[in-house]
Amino acid sequence: MLFALLAIAIGLIILVWSADRFVEGAAVTARHFNIPPLIIGMVIIGFGTSAPEMVVSALASWQGNPGIALGNAYGSNITNIALILGITALISPILVDSQVLRRTLPILTLVTLLAAWQLLDDFISRTDALVLLGVFAAIMTWTVVQGRRDQNSACPDSLSGDVVAELDTRTLPLRKAVMWTVIGLVLLIASSRILVWGAVTIAQSVGVSDLIIGLTVIAVGTSLPELASSVIAARKGEHDMALGNILGSNLFNTLAVVGIAGVIHPMGVGHEVLTRDMAVMAGLTVSLFVLGYGFKSQGRISRPEGVILMLVYAAYTAWLVRSVVVAA
């Protein structure tokens, strides 16, 4: 038991560190090959911040632990909105005025509804998973096309400029960038295996389902990159990037993470995932319309609203703990 807890702690630390090395190495490598900053920002960096969720869920599904795979994805989404966005707003209120975010939030809501619809039969088949991956590919293509159009317009989106400025500060030689990319990827996989082993061991020892472990410990741990990037962006006044990071990560988790896990191994899903976890995730997603959209003035997620989001996360965690106690 103690060794399993240690494995989770070490696995999370290495996971977060290796994800950062992987993102930096991949982004700088892409820059060396003159890949447009827009693509680097949307694809490489976007994928990189969700790499922990993707690798952990893929390995969990491969090893026959669908609860960890699904709990990690949906739990990360709940953590991103309720806990991370709440903490970020508490540090610095988030202004919402980007047209990109106004396009992304309705898409995330529709994607969440699609995911809920797939759970009605308490099973995610390979066909369901392929549909998720197809939708993800279509959204990525549409985002890149729209981003290029904005970039060529009179008022380009600020994302490309932010990525260019960030990459210009990273002067790694190509050989070193490739090395960090490879090392980061290898450590991502290795640390994910350690993390999944520790989580499964603890779940079996204390009689808790791997779904609960995935929704809590693993979800929070794999969401640490989003916490760091959102807090830093908010403190720098990059409010759209702070919120965009959360929305983009949730899109990736719902479509790509669950899709990849489902393709590897179809998943039987307990009905509580739909009535409890998906309901909370959908409710939080819809709440962003109220919190983030300014109907008569500029949208703003204030500090009090950040506190409310954190209280929602605390209530959800208490709900999970109660379900474990009742089951015992």
- What is the tally of structural domains in the chain? 1
Residues 81-136 have pLDDT tens digits of 999 999 989 988 887 765 656 677 888 999 999 999 999 999 999 999 999 999 99
| Largest Cα span, the chain | 61
> Which pLDDT belongs to residue 157?
47
Residues 234-274 have pLDDT tens digits of 777 766 667 777 888 899 999 999 999 999 999 988 899 99
SS (H, E, C) 71-89: HHHHHHHHHHHHHHHHHHH
Its domain, for residue 106, covers 2-327
Q: What single letter denotes the amino acid at residue 168?
A: D
Q: Output the average pLDDT for the chain.
A: 81
Between 11-15, 189-193, 242-246, the lowest mean confidence (pLDDT) is in 242-246
Residue 39 confidence class, pLDDT cut points 50, 70, 90: low
Q: How far is CA 201 from CA 10, 64, 197, in A?
A: 15, 14, 6
**Helix/strand/coil for 228:** helix
Instruction: Assign residue 247 the CATH number of its domain.
Output: 1.20.1420.30
Average pLDDT for 176-192: 83
Greater model confidence, 193 or 23: 193
Residue 298: Cβ-neighbour burial (10 angstroms; 0-12, 13-18, 19+): exposed
Closest CA to 80 of 228, 190, 181, 185: 228
Q: What is the DSSP string of 176-213?
A: HHHHHHHHHHHHHHHHHHHHHHHHHHHHHHHT--HHHH
What share of the chain in percent tops pLDDT 70?
82
Greater model confidence, 27 or 44: 27
> Which pLDDT belongs to residue 46?
59
Residue 18 confidence class, pLDDT cut points 50, 70, 90: confident
Which run of H or E residues covers position 160? helix 158-168
Place of tokens 């190495």: 25
